[in-house]
Structure 1
Amino acid sequence: MNYDLVIIGGGPAGLAAATAAWEDGCRSICIVERDRELGGILNQCIHNGFGLHYFKEELTGPEYAGRFIELLRSTGVDVRLDAMVLEVTAQKQVHIVSAAAGYEVLEARAVILAMGCRERTRGAISIPGTRPAGVFTAGTAQRYMNIEGYMVGRRVVILGSGDIGLIMARRMTLEGAKVLCCVEVMPYSGGLTRNIVQCLNDFDIPLYLSHTITDIQGRDRVERVVVSQVGPDRRPIPGTEMTFDCDTVLLSVGLIPENELSRAAGIQMDPRTNGPVVYENMETSIPGVFACGNVLHVHDLVDFVTAEAARAGRAAAALCAGGPPAASRVLELKNGAVVGYTVPQRIHLDADFQAAEVFFRVRAVCGRSRITVTDGIGRRLASFSRERLAPGEMEHIRLPRALLNSAQGAITVSIEEEKP
């Protein structure tokens, strides 16, 4: 079957991309979603705080997804649910399988990758100890509680201070569990400041920075965990052990973009983000294949996912409408001091845009700082002031076309912390 645009993933990124492409005139769109319903991870995020940027109001995750699902119902977008994508080729053939239609190959003029991300597990971080029941990733526990209706434990220790873990600390407490502590191996939190305040501080849940779990004990079910302080090398310090009697361990130790399909297609990947290398319009190294959302880089806010996916949807619609091919002049973006990565990594200087949206994360907590943008000869093109920067919060700057056109060579985004 042939479509102009095939979108892989029906979560917030896929929904926003489809909506934007339809609004820009693309009338042959198919969303392929492996779950039984649209919405992705938002369906289990029953807390509020979504939509403040995009809808200018506070919504729960299902409400936010519902807004886009309703918009989609007013379009002619074809939706394949409970369908698994097996392969995406460089020729934009999407191989899928489902109980309803069996094995199919969808031919597309453009493809948008919106597969999201997955959680790191206990095996990925090699926590020592026995292998009892009661060890969950935070997202799995969230699904059990909010969708399946199961209480996963009563006395809980959370490893990692990612946003899902922080939110689950509050959720478990509200359901009557005792969250003993949240343990973070880094000297700073990995989550948003507002989640630290609302989910830990407001419930008097201690956060142990520069600590990690060094042993999980129990036979059939978790009985206790040992927590140790770590040094600057992230190694446990002997003699600092604390033992917590608990029946549950939740892991919030990072997210991994789901890019098996991307790699198999031969798309160039960025080892810093574990996602595809993209241009300012979200196009990957394969012309006509775009990427957006958490499959590209892990976001803090779904509103930013929506804006990024809409950009990909509009670009895909323009390509399907016979828009001009990609321009030849390309500007490369690099990460400088303290910056972990930039998205996009490349910009078409002749493309139709007023300003390039650049997202990045820092590698360390910084006080009052300046974000500096320099070109290949060391000339400062722009600077932006920030009161505070932290790895748990994604940063965003806009670079006008005139600034980019004046650059000589690649441009570098760096952080200069101001001395007190």
Structure 2
Amino acid sequence: MIHYDVVVIGGGPAGLAASKTLMDKNKKVMLVERENRLGGILKQCIHDGFGLIQFKKMLTGPEYAERYIDLIREGDIDIKLLSFVTKVKKLDKGFEITIVNKEGINTYDTKAIILANGCRERTSRQISIQGTRPAGIFTAGTAQYFVNLLGVLPTKRCVILGSGDIGLIMARRLTLEGAEVEGVYEAKSTPSGLTRNIIQCLEDYDIPLHLSSTVTKVFGEERVTGVEVSNVDDKMQPIKGTQRMVPCDALILSVGLIPENEIAESLGVEMDGNTKGPVVNNSLMTSVKGVYSCGNALHVNDLVDYVSESGVTAALGAVNYLEGEEESKKQEYIKVNYENKDFMYVVPQLFDKSKPENNIFYLRSRNSVKNVKLKVLVEGKEVFSKAYAELKPPEMKRLQVNFKDIHLKNIEIKMESAEI
């Protein structure tokens, strides 16, 4: 059986960054990717806006991925493409991983695992849209794959349900390719995507955004012929009498992402109901020692630069685990506290007292609020604060906090009104 120090599962931006970091630390690494090319979703994101934080340059998705791919191909990393992890077994010291690919079924031994599986899109069946099941219902990612990688226009006139960023980007992309986007419908009273995408993808192209509205029915036998849209109340339930029929040949869904965590769950990793990803400490280690989670498998990010950043954090955590395994058994964790009424989530959820420096918290506000200050408190005493003119749920925030020389017993992240 071949032995590795770390197996990285997922060859998207988080897995690439983790692999590059482990390579630089001279660890023996295997990178497992189920597709035939590395890069994850970046391969089909031909718009720019990537890399301003990591590379200080505006890049397209493929350009961003290629920078990491070129770096790891220079090193000694075993890359397994078109490979699927079918089983992970916990051993007394390490893990046994079974992989299926064109070479057959093989089992490998590793001391640590980094889960960089990414996430998947919700489908029409997961949001309970009534009607038939004709051709022409796509997730936004699938539509993007058709247009950007296959060169096929999947619609002439479409409705987009959900104002997530990929849906907004596809509204612009389809318009540029000659399709008509009748409108973007969002059940919430506020958009789900970044403000810049609302402006650049909808307003600049005169594409209507209908808030507090949703698709309630699909029409068509072999192909979509139209959809029924309705206004919704404050509980996002359709309001009778508001429905209308919109003729179209496609319904494109941008209704949220679900972190891929089947492997984590099979290992008994503790999960967070808010993020739908693992509970982790500030090294991004899960409740199972030696198993790390990063990128969109941990929580859905809005910037790829932060996805890569978390891959680096997980890799450095794995390196420390490998080089100080006995010390890692003595870790003392503190719960990171926050008010559910103020925050959708805060990651990490736990804090390892032995690693006080340069810690990063990722969080999202539960509601849109203006003129607020985020505070980090230890035993009720403020150790860090940052003011914001506005916080919105679609826009993730990042706090970098140094707890050096601070006696840690209780950590709380708090939101307060502030004069800005």
Measured after TM superposition, the shift of residue 46 of structure 1 is 0.9
Structure 2 residue 18 is matched with structure 1 residue 17: yes
1:367 partner SS: strand
Give the whole-Å Cα distance in 2 for the aligned partners of 1:8 and 1:312: 12
- Give a deviation string over 1:128-159, Cα, whole Å, max 9, x none: 12221111000011111111222110101100
Give the whole-Å Cα distance in 1 for the aligned partners of 2:326 and 2:387: 37
Give the whole-Å Cα distance in 1 for the aligned partners of 2:216 and 2:417: 34
1:256 partner SS: strand
Measured after TM superposition, the shift of residue 64 of structure 1 is 0.6
* Matched AA of 1:341: Y
Structure 2 residue 371 is matched with structure 1 residue 368: yes
Equivalent residue for 2:30? 30
TM-score (norm 2): 0.95
Structure 2 residue 343 is matched with structure 1 residue 343: no
1:263-412 maps to which residues of 2 (within 5 A)?
263-322=265-324, 325-326=327-328, 327-336=330-339, 337-351=341-355, 353-375=356-378, 378-402=380-404, 405-409=406-410, 411-412=411-412
Aligned residues: 414
Change (3 A) 1:319 1:374: closer
- Give a deviation string over 1:301-358, Cα, whole Å, max 9, x none: 110011110111122223333466224322211231410111111111112x522100
8 A Cα contact 2:45 2:61, kept in partner: yes
Larger deviation, residues 382-391 vs 302-311: 382-391
Measured after TM superposition, the shift of residue 375 of structure 1 is 4.4
Give the whole-Å Cα distance in 2 for the aligned partners of 1:2 and 1:301: 34
Give the whole-Å Cα distance in 1 for the aligned partners of 2:241 and 2:32: 53
Give the whole-Å Cα distance in 2 for the aligned partners of 1:325 and 1:146: 48
Measured after TM superposition, the shift of residue 415 of structure 1 is 2.2
Larger deviation, residues 354-363 vs 119-128: 354-363
8 A Cα contact 1:90 1:286, kept in partner: no
- Give a deviation string over 1:373-411, Cα, whole Å, max 9, x none: 3345x44443321111111111111221148x34443x2
Equivalent residue for 1:79? 79
* Matched AA of 2:83: A
Give the whole-Å Cα distance in 2 for the aligned partners of 1:289 and 1:348: 15
2:252 partner SS: strand
1:38 partner SS: coil
Equivalent residue for 1:158? 160
8 A Cα contact 1:129 1:215, kept in partner: yes
Change (3 A) 1:239 1:208: same
8 A Cα contact 1:44 1:61, kept in partner: yes
* Matched AA of 2:6: L
Give the whole-Å Cα distance in 1 for the aligned partners of 2:37 and 2:304: 18
Give the whole-Å Cα distance in 1 for the aligned partners of 2:265 and 2:409: 32
Measured after TM superposition, the shift of residue 262 of structure 1 is 0.5
- Give a deviation string over 1:209-256, Cα, whole Å, max 9, x none: 111111111222111112111111111112222322111110000000
Give the whole-Å Cα distance in 2 for the aligned partners of 1:139 and 1:332: 36
Measured after TM superposition, the shift of residue 89 of structure 1 is 2.3
Equivalent residue for 2:107? 105
1:79 partner SS: strand
Equivalent residue for 1:200? 202
Change (3 A) 1:187 1:417: farther
2:64 partner SS: helix
Give the whole-Å Cα distance in 1 for the aligned partners of 2:151 and 2:417: 47
* Matched AA of 2:201: C
8 A Cα contact 1:184 1:212, kept in partner: yes
Equivalent residue for 2:9? 8
Change (3 A) 1:115 1:255: same
* Matched AA of 2:19: A
Give the whole-Å Cα distance in 1 for the aligned partners of 2:313 and 2:382: 28
8 A Cα contact 1:90 1:266, kept in partner: no
* Matched AA of 1:205: I
Change (3 A) 1:319 1:418: closer
* Matched AA of 1:10: G
* Matched AA of 1:368: N
* Matched AA of 2:49: G
8 A Cα contact 1:331 1:346, kept in partner: yes
8 A Cα contact 2:387 2:418, kept in partner: no
Give the whole-Å Cα distance in 2 for the aligned partners of 1:154 and 1:196: 22
Measured after TM superposition, the shift of residue 81 of structure 1 is 0.6
Give the whole-Å Cα distance in 2 for the aligned partners of 1:94 and 1:240: 53
8 A Cα contact 1:162 1:191, kept in partner: yes
Give the whole-Å Cα distance in 1 for the aligned partners of 2:224 and 2:203: 26
* Matched AA of 1:330: Y
8 A Cα contact 1:111 1:288, kept in partner: yes
1:318 partner SS: helix
Equivalent residue for 1:218? 220
> 1:237 aligned to 221, 227, 239, which one?
239
Give the whole-Å Cα distance in 2 for the aligned partners of 1:366 and 1:116: 29
* Matched AA of 1:53: I
Structure 2 residue 89 is matched with structure 1 residue 89: yes
Q: Can you give the 5+ residue segments of structure 1 that lack an aligned partner in the other structure?
A: none
Give the whole-Å Cα distance in 1 for the aligned partners of 2:325 and 2:408: 26
Give the whole-Å Cα distance in 2 for the aligned partners of 1:328 and 1:44: 41
Give the whole-Å Cα distance in 2 for the aligned partners of 1:182 and 1:412: 38
Equivalent residue for 2:253? 251
Give the whole-Å Cα distance in 2 for the aligned partners of 1:55 and 1:355: 20
1:276 partner SS: coil
8 A Cα contact 1:334 1:341, kept in partner: no
Aligned-residue Cα RMSD (Å) equals 1.6
